A and B are shown apart, each in its own frame.
Chain A
Amino acid sequence: MTSALLLEVAGLKKFYPLGRGSFLHAVDGVDLSLESGETVGLVGESGCGKSTLARLITRLIDPTAGSIRFAGDEIGATSSQRFGRSALRAQIQMVFQDATDSLNPRFTAFRAIADPLRRMRRLGGAALRDRVVEVAQLAGLPAELLGRFPHQLSGGQKARVGIARAIAVEPHLLILDEPTAALDVSVQVVILQLLDELKRRLGLSYLFVSHDLNVVRLLCDRILVMYLGRIVESGPAHRVFGSPAHPYTEALLSAVPNRDGTARDRRIALPGEPRSPIDPDPNVCPLYGRCNRAEEMCQRAMPALREIAPGRRAACHFPITPKTGIAPRHQAAE
């Protein structure tokens, strides 16, 4: 039986040259996999590289190194321009963060949704019109709104246009880059439930990029935590949230306010600022200097992302063991 792995990323790197031999390590060696029908969450703060990673996977930008396999085919090697002309372009689509920014201000909703259909499915005339209306309906957008411009639509409606456009060509993998970040709470619920329903109805797989941990918790089967261009933890969502293994994940979770007002007491504040992503030392853990569990080893050898429990991986020499919660501080790496 062939593996149901829809997406397989290995050793993915994206370095931006800054001149004089210096490079910005936006994505610094990422391995991840996504099975068909899964929703994987990618969380991290600004500067961690999750947006770059999302754009690499969507093939909007080209990787510096590493491989991206989609349904078995290596897609990392073709340039993004050539990929745009291939049949696989329609298979991977993206829903953007700011619907206002991602919709052409001079295009009506109809034209925005029709664009991929015209370009990739070569539809026209009545067939095009029918499909646009059909897709708009799937996304919960009433047909009367199709003639409107973005500035005449509400935030939720614009989000729906963005979603309709993304699903119009029947992709298999949808990258969602903070799709509800700009929306009010009540609209967010509706859009999230829509995304959930569409996933089941259309058999989609999602890579959900977000900094909002509460939202990720609701929608995702597995989550990946990113820091300074690397994946530092991965595992089933409820397990990672329930007992984080990596110190950064722990600190991140402790920063989420909750309605009981108790978050402040259990706050783990990481002192200082993140290390520079420019020419980082390959032997020093990215969290070194801010981590309260640091030892000598952490600045001598980069911790690899390794399995610490079935289905759970963490890139730490001294992960917080899920079972006991007590740090195996003097356990050498296997």
Chain B
Amino acid sequence: MIAAIGCVDRRAAPLLAVEDLSIEFRTRSGTVRALDRVGFALGRGETMALVGESGSGKSVTAYAIIGILDAAARITSGSITFGGLHMLAASPAVLDEVRGREVAIIFQSPRTALNPIRPVGRQIADVLLRHGNVTAAQAPGLAIEMLARVRIPDPKRRAAAYPFELSGGMCQRVMIAMALACEPALLIADEPTTGLDITTQAVIMDLIAELAAAHGMATLLITHDLALAAEYCSRIAVMHAGQVVEIAPTSRLFDRPRHPYTEKLIAATPAHTLSLNELAAIPGGLPDLRRDDLPACRFSTRCERRENGCLAPPLPRRALDDGGLIACRYPL
């Protein structure tokens, strides 16, 4: 176990800084410009959401942070600094150390993200043995403790269960247990409750929030559900077609969105005060990210506030007083 390399400074401010990140994917049908100069920062213990629809690049960003991008991905610019460590330049050995111990990720389909032929207790123990300072004798007991901490009833018996024997909600709790086993500084949750029942979703998200607060762990929540993001995160970054269009504190985002896409996204989200007629669809569709001639602002083709200046680079990104960011030439 190498202790010296892969040292992440948990007190670094900000804990996670993504700057100017651009990623391309080489595919059979062309080069997909998945991310365009994505940037945001997350402080210690903070909760932040990356909100966007499918194709917005939020999952790609999450995978880039933790270093599990597909082999066809090429990072064309930018950097990711986590606790002072430059993640994109780090060697695989360093990343192996950091993953699981300092930063952890939980995925969308819990049952498919777990090893189907290994009992869940052993899977948690695997994480502990790899990254925690525990002996092989201590690991199983600690695994049962983790299961209890994520409120799985009868943890001793469940530790011997296989993923297919557990419900979706329980599998997600097991994943949380695995992720939190070594008390990482940052938890990335990639659509953790999509596909789960709404009551299960509430329980899971409450659990994550509680454990994060208890350990001073920062949380990056990837989701398409604006209301979910509002419920659990203090800051929200809205993404569209691979660009971060706005970052704002949650309280301000809904009252005063500055970006046209944010405003439209809010207007399209069903909530109990709106009727069907008040909901407004977002016109147009995602631009084809394989094109060479993408405009500087990738939302401009769908925006009624578009002017000629929106097409030519660079896309202005302005920091705001409340820690927010707006990437628009003519914000609201």
Contact = CB atoms under 8 A, between A and B. Distances in A.
Interface of A: 45-46, 154-155, 184-190, 192-193, 196, 211-215, 217-219, 241, 251-252, 254-261, 263-264, 267, 269-270, 272-273
Contact of B198 (A186, A189, A211): A211
29 contacts: A155-B54, A184-B53, A184-B54, A185-B226, A185-B265, A185-B268, A186-B264, A186-B265, A187-B281, A188-B270, A193-B279, A196-B276, A214-B270, A214-B271, A218-B279, A255-B198, A255-B201, A255-B202, A258-B227, A258-B230, A258-B271, A258-B272, A259-B226, A259-B269, A261-B230, A261-B250, A263-B202, A267-B202, A267-B206
Contacts, number: 106
B231 A185 contact: no
Contacts of B226: 185, 259
Contact of A270 (B53, B199, B254, B275): B199
Interface string B223-240: 011111011100000000
Contact of A45 (B199, B275, B280): B199
A264 B206 contact: yes
B332 interface: no
B200 to A, nearest CB: 8
B9 interface: no
Contacts of B209: 264
B199 A192 contact: no
B167 A273 contact: yes
Contacts of B274: 218
What is the size category of the interface that chain B forms with chain A?
A: 35 or more
Q: Secondary structure of the B side of the interface?
A: helix
Nearest to B270: A214
A252 B199 contact: yes
Interface string B44-70: 000000000110000000000000000
A196 B224 CA distance: 24
B311 interface: no
Contact of B281 (A45, A190, A260, A261): A190
A258 B231 contact: yes
B309 interface: no
Contacts of B203: 269
Contacts of A219: 276
